[in-house]
Structures are given as C-alpha cells and as structure tokens.
Structure 1
Amino acid sequence: MMIHHYTSVKNLSLILKNRTLRFGRADQLDDPSEVPFRTDRLGPHRFFVSSWCQGLRGEAGLWHRYADRDHGVRLSLPRMPFDWTRYAVEFSRMCNIHGHMKKIGVKILDVVMPFGEETLFGNGYMVTPTWTDLPNAFGAPVIYVDDPITEAAKTVVVDGERLTIHGDSNRLARVKGLAWSDQDEYRFVLSAIGGPKLDYAEDPARYREAMMDIMESGAKIGFDKFHPDVPAIFVPFGANAFVGMTVTLGPQISTEDRIMVTQLVHDLAPSASVVESKLRTRIRPSGVTS
C-alpha cells in the first residue's frame, strides 16, 4: 500500500536533511474537535500525529491545503518508513503517596516500538506504549463517522474517577467527522506524557531519576494534567525509508524550487524518484481567488 504526505519544499528539505518525521500534537491540528474525548488525564494534548493519505482521493484540495497552495511536494512511500526496536526497560523506586508506600517507575518489557531510546525518552516528554502489537497498530486509516463522540466512547469509558480504555487508546486520535472524509487519511499516532527537560543521551541515569520525580508528583494529584508541553515529537526514519520513495512536484511549483527539490533528492535520497504532478491548475494573479 502506498501512503502519501503533502508538504512544503521547506519541510521536504528538513525531512531529507534530518531524516526525521514530525508528529504534531493533536490539539494543534486543523480540526479543533480532534480526539473527541477530553479529561485532565486523557485528551488531544496527549497524542501526536503524522498525517498521510491512503490514495489520491481529494488530491486537488490536499495540494492546496497542505502543500503550500500547490507550490509544494507530495512524498509517496511504499512501506512503513521506520525501524523497530524491541525494548526491555525497567526502573522504579518506592515513594510515600498520601501515607502509603507505592512503587512508581517505568516497565516496558518485550514491546516493539518504531524508534530508539532517545525518542522514547525525549526532552520534555516520554512516549507511552499503548498496544503490544505496534507493528500492526502504529499506522492505520482514520475512522470517519457521523458522531465522533459516540465513536470515542467505544474506546474510553469514564465512571466517576475511573478511566477504562478498551483496546488501543491511540484509536481516539483516528476518529474524525464525515466532513473530513475526502482526505482518506492514514495516520501514525504516538501517545506521550510529560517528561524531564533533559537530553537522555547525555545522562540516562539522571534522566530516569528526574522521570521518577515527575511520576511521583503526578501520583500525588492523580496524574491530572500529566501531559507534555512540547508541540511536536520527531521520529527518525528507518535506514531504508527512502528506498522506492517518489517525490511529486506541485502543480504550481516554481522553477527555482523544482531545481532545488531535484538536487535535494539526488544528494540525500538517491534511490527516490522525482516526477511531475498530473494535476493542472490555473495560475492566477496575486490576491485573485474563485
């Protein structure tokens, strides 16, 4: 299955140079009703999304909205673009929580995730695995429904202070209203909590101690507002992510940008191909719309 991502030439340059994919926090996406479930513990501020398309349905609108008003590019990939790591991470300590000694910490055993420890333990956040079968659940189509709130209730149930999640909570970030269905969207979704504002690679032990400090404080307030304040998470592409990639030039891309994109792909993703869009749009004078 091919997946497609519309973006600007500037963002393409960052993607190729840094070999990372940006996951934006769901409460900053175009649709203000993203993640139709909101409590202090769980809501759009906990999810990070990278949006793609399964096909070319709604192509004209996608070029205009997400690819710099027809002046950008479309990336097309033939496979999941990440490398997978099997984790065996565990650290904890005993803490006094309201007069009771409790163990707090992190335990991730025999879970496969599409990134390494430096992404799992990020500066200002920690990714939280939500499902054991991530290779088959990390990326999935968006679910378009007439009533997103009712659909979300199939995954999360609130009973007083009790929060029950049925299945993969990342499904909440794939529920949208029917009005958006022309985008035929395919999403990669991460869930995260707030973490230390430290570089994990510089001192893993210090990071882990700081993470447990944050978790102890969270336990004392029931983990309310226990979410990251970073606007995005950047996930590295896999070693072979760009093999077989196609970069399609926007219908109104400038001559200068066409040359730049061709050179970028040649230098940074030589196994990829650059093609022209089959969509044709009329060039209008500045400020003129129809």
Structure 2
Amino acid sequence: MENNEYLYHYTSVETLALILKNRSIRFNSLDKMDDLQEQETYDLKNAGQFVYVSSWTDDESESIPMWNMYASLDKGVRIRLSKNPFRLYNNTAEDLAKAKGLHITDASKGNSIQTIIPLAEIFSKGFISIQAITKDLLCKVEYTDEKEKLYPKLLLENGNQFSINFGKLGKYKNLHWQFQKEWRYILNIYPLNLMQSPDKINTDFQMFANRLLFGAEKQPFSYYDMIIDDKAFADMQVTLSPRIGAGSRVIVQDLIEKYNPTAELKESCLSGML
C-alpha cells in the first residue's frame, strides 16, 4: 500500500487497549469534541449530538503538537490504519425478515446489500444512518473563517414540513486548527423506527425535527463503536510516543502480542530528540 492509503490517530495507551481488545473504533458526537465551535449552528442548538465522528490525520510525519494534545509524549501511541477500515456486512432479505420478526423464504437467491452497520441492528435498535448504507464516511476537513460554514443553517421549512441538513456539520473547522491536517469519519445517527409504515416513518421524522427545533430531542447513543475489518486490523501500525516510559512500553508490547500479533510496533522518529 502507498502512504496516501493510510490515516493516523494519536491516542493514549488506554484507548489503544480498547481498540485492540474490541477491534473497533469509537465515534463520539460533536458535542464531545475539543473544538467547542463544532457543535454550534445558526439555528439548532443541539444538532451536534447526532453527528458522530472519529478524527484522523493524513500527515505521515509525526507532529509534536498532536502528540502533546492527544496522546502525550511519554505514554501515548499513534495508530496507523488503512482508509475506510470498517467491516462490511452482507444483509440478505432473510436477515431483514428476522429483524422484523417475520418468517419468509429468502427470494433474493443469495443477493445481499452491503452496509457498514448491520441492517438488522438498525431495525432492532430504532435508528437510522444514511452513511451506514452509502458507506461514504470519510471526509477531509476544510479549514475556514467563513461564518456560513462554521455556523451553518440546518433547518429547511416547507409549510408545516421540516427537513434538516445534517450534512453541513462536522466538515468545517476554524483556521486555527489547520495544523491537524484532519480527515474524519462521520456518521449521522438519529432515532427513527423503521419497522413501521412509510407514512408513520415520515410522521415520526417530522416529530423528531420539531423536538430538535425546541432543543428537546436526545441522541440515541452517547457514542458508537465501528468494527474494524480483519484485513485492516492485521495491517495496523502502532508508533510509540517519543518519551515512552518503560511500563507503558511493556503494556503496548503485551497488548499487541495478545490481540494483534501481526501489527507493526514502531519507535518514534522523535525518540531521543525531546
């Protein structure tokens, strides 16, 4: 693989342990990000809670500010994974029937729909995510001082009908953050029961929009964990922080040996320089 096929994530040894053990990447909502400006919009106060992101960088060179802010110089790591490393699920008609509690014969003759979140989970837990179906999560962050992008207008009204453009959130950051060279995976997740008639689904969405308008709607999950594909997981690279302590080093070595022995463990190029 070429380097431009990889992204990098600075984090703590503790978070690495969870990623390796659970084979997953955690997405947190915008209202949990360090940039408080991200959750703000022109017209809706709490829309950021429905936009879940995982932040990475395409900068292959190690960054001292990134080490300091997100991992620490003495007890952190930098994870490298291939772009779009998430597991794909094949969803058959029979799978969907089981999720709905129906008993039918799968007439699809083995055909299936690929998603990055199982459709059975979406149906059973009562939420919707367009990106789960389109598989189009990855976005290069645009740094800007344009107010219209930093504080986007999300609500569109047509008579007594509402629509919300969540797609404007999570893609723009203030120029002060340019050093991050950030790419991020974005999941828009909001509560919607798909196990009902199309008319009822539309009505429920309008009710969701109304509650959101008045700040009364709550996110379906405080976070969401995406499973890493086996091939991407095996190709992981872990770089130790520049001043890694002996204890943290042993912990990382043991974690990799136990959960991902094919992963590459690498010394920091800044080791001995800081």
- Tell me the distance in 1 between the aligned counterparts of 2:82 and 2:189: 27
Aligned twin of 2:185:
188
Alignment counterpart, residue 176 of structure 1, candidates 151, 167, 173: 173
Tell me what 1:147 maps to: 146
In structure 2, C-alpha distance between the alignment counterparts of 1:219 and 1:162, rounded to whole Å: 7
Give the total of aligned pairs: 248
Equivalent residue number for residue 247 of structure 2: 256
Does the 8 A contact of 2:10 with 2:67 survive in 1?
yes
The DSSP-based 3-state class of the residue aligned with 1:241 is helix
Q: What are the Cα deviations for residues 96-123 of structure 1, in whole angstroms up to 9, with x where unaligned?
A: xxxxxxxxxxxxxx86432224653586
How does the TM-score come out when normalised to structure 1?
0.71
How do residues 1-290 of structure 1 correspond to structure 2 at under 5 angstroms?
1-37=5-41, 39-40=43-44, 43-56=47-60, 59-85=63-89, 87=91, 112-117=114-119, 120=122, 126-129=127-130, 133-134=134-135, 137-150=136-149, 153=152, 156=154, 158-159=156-157, 163=162, 169-194=166-191, 208=195, 219-220=206-207, 222-225=209-212, 226-228=217-219, 230-280=221-271
1:122·1:195 contact (CA, 8 Å) conserved in 2?
no
Deviation at 1:44, TM superposition (A): 0.5
Q: AA paired with 2:270?
A: L
Q: Deviation of residue 251 (structure 1)?
A: 1.0
8 Å CA contact 1:148, 1:176 repeated in 2: no
Mark the runs of 5 or more structure 2 residues left unpaired by the alignment. Answer: 101-111
Deviation of 1:156 (Å): 4.3
Deviations 1:5-45 (A, max 9, x none): 11100110111011111101111110111144254597211
Contact 2:8–2:56, Cα closer than 8 Å, also in 1? yes
Gaps of 5+ in 1: 93-109, 197-206, 284-290
Q: How much is the aligned-residue C-alpha RMSD, in angstroms?
A: 3.6
Aligned to 1:101: none
Per the normalisation by structure 2, the TM-score is 0.75
1:65 positional shift: 0.6
**What is the distance in 2 between the residues matched to 1:31 and 1:240?**
33
Q: Letter of the aligned partner of 2:180 in structure 1? A: Q
Cα displacement (A) at 1:208: 4.9
Aligned equivalents of 1:111, 1:6: Cα separation in 2: 34
Whether the aligned pair in 2 keeps the contact of 1:27 and 1:44 (CA below 8 Å) is: yes
Between Structure 1 and Structure 2, which shows a larger proportion of helix residues? 2
Query: Given that residues 163 and 209 in structure 2 are in contact (C-alpha distance below 8 angstroms), is that contact kept between their aligned partners in structure 1?
Result: no
